[in-house]
Amino acid sequence: MSHSRERKEKICLNCNAALNGRFCHVCGQENLEPKESAWGLVSHFFYDITHFDGKFFSTLGYLVSKPGFLPKEYLRGRRASYLNPIRMYVFSSALFFLIFFSLFSPKDLKIGVDKDDNLLQKDSLPIPVTAKQKALENAKTFEDSAKVEEVFAAVEGVVQIEKEPTVKMDSAEGLKWNSDLTDEKFNTTAQYDSAQKSLAPDQRDGRFKRLFTHRRIELNNKYKKQPKQFIKDVLDKFIHSFPYLLFVSLPLYALFLKLLYIRRKQFYYVNHGIFLVYLYIFTFIILLIFFSLMELHKIWDTSWLWVLQTILFLYGLFYTVKAMRNFYGQGWGKTIVKFILLNFLAVVSLVFLFALFFMLTVFRL
């Protein structure tokens, strides 16, 4: 409730409904004077913030300490005392991925053998050059100098053969990747389309293969001399697709729960979704603590941090089983069996979703 002055007129400014009290029974708007002071705006802002924080932390306490309690309260209609699960999911997921993306950035990865190449250049090349200079300084005649040049020319040829890279660069043809990403026959999509038109209709590639070949040629032209940059860009976009992957997985897992508890007619599909929303929020919290312990382990190399991470992982498993038992009201035996089946279905679907999102990531580069 706001501390602003109530209007004397008993007509709602929002929907023109007749009022009987401070709040409109139709739209819920408070019947306040439309003119608000600067102090009123500031106090209203801080009230909303503290009101959100108060509900968030009280709801968080119930979420962590009482598995399955909040979705059960939501199912019973007791919702005013707790933060809305969707609002809490949006806030917690945004906070989680903000920290996650700051900790795991593919842009900082060292991909390839740059270090070994540098060592090879530093350790192999200066030695023959220095030896050659000293040998030329010690040569007394023109014939001796010619002999030195001949010997070191042969040595440099051997070194060049040993250092020849396995991935070859060609300014005309681009990078020859040891994968199916590129097409060695065509440099442009126009060449590929022209070649396809010259074939008989029954010999042409299908729609999906044409689309895939177009994308391969485009990526080859874009990353012809930057294979490591290609890997970094793919990983970066793939990791940033995780929020969408989770968003897609939630209704899918709700369907799994609906099938596992199909004989429980009192649970609708949406009820399973609400249960999973709270479970996802708890997972975000557990992972944030887990990642924090990982960062601490980089500073303090102590075994007790690994012990804490193990305990945290085991508690996460126990929490999920306990939440399922409390929410659905079945015994430990049935709950554990359905927990195992749910995780099996989750792993299988995650493999499919990861492959699908990875393919979409490559096509979006």
d(CA 109, CA 228): 10
Query: Do 323 and 346 sit in the same domain of this protein?
Result: yes
Residue written as tokens 């749910």? 342
Residue 147: give the domain boundaries: 114-162
In a domain, 140, yes or no: yes
Say if residue 125 is in the same domain as residue 183: no
Residues 255 and 339 in one domain: yes
Q: To which residue do tokens 């706001």 refer?
A: 2
Q: Using one digit for the tens of pLDDT, what is the confidence trace for 259-295? A: 999 999 899 999 999 999 999 999 999 999 998 888 8
- Same domain for 343 and 247: yes
For residues 351 and 259, membership in a common domain is answered with yes
Residues 141 and 173 in one domain: no
pLDDT digits (tens, 9 = 90+) for 61-91: 999 999 999 999 999 998 888 989 998 999 9
221 and 247 in a single domain? The answer is no
Residue 34 belongs to some domain of the structure: no
pLDDT of residue 42: 66
| Per-residue pLDDT reduced to its tens digit, 182-227 | 445 777 888 888 888 888 888 888 888 888 888 888 888 888 777 7
Does 73 share its domain with 154? no
Whether residues 292 and 258 fall in one domain: yes
SS3 109: coil
Give the chain's count of helices (H) and strands (E): 13, 2
The rounded distance, in Å, linking the Cα atoms of 164 and 160 is: 6
Q: Which residue has the higher pLDDT, 52 or 14?
A: 14
Of 273, 246, 249, nearest to 261 (Cα)? 273
- At residue 221, the pLDDT reads 81
Number of domains in the chain: 3
CB-CB contact of 195 with 186 (8 Å): yes
pLDDT at 340 over 90: yes
pTM passes above 0.75: no
Mean pLDDT of 91-112: 78
Q: Is residue 28, in this structure, part of any structural domain at all?
A: no
User: Are 250 and 217 part of one and the same domain?
Assistant: no
Q: Which two tokens stand for residue 285?
A: 């919290």
The reply to whether 250 and 225 lie within a common domain is no
Any domain includes 260: yes
Residues 64 and 80 placed together within one structural domain of the fold: yes
pLDDT surpasses 50 at 178: no
More confident residue, 171 or 97: 97
pLDDT averaged over the chain? Answer: 79
| Domain assignment present for 33 | no
Confidence of residue 231 (pLDDT cuts 50, 70, 90): confident
Digit-coded pLDDT (tens) for 24-56: 988 888 888 777 667 666 666 656 655 556 788
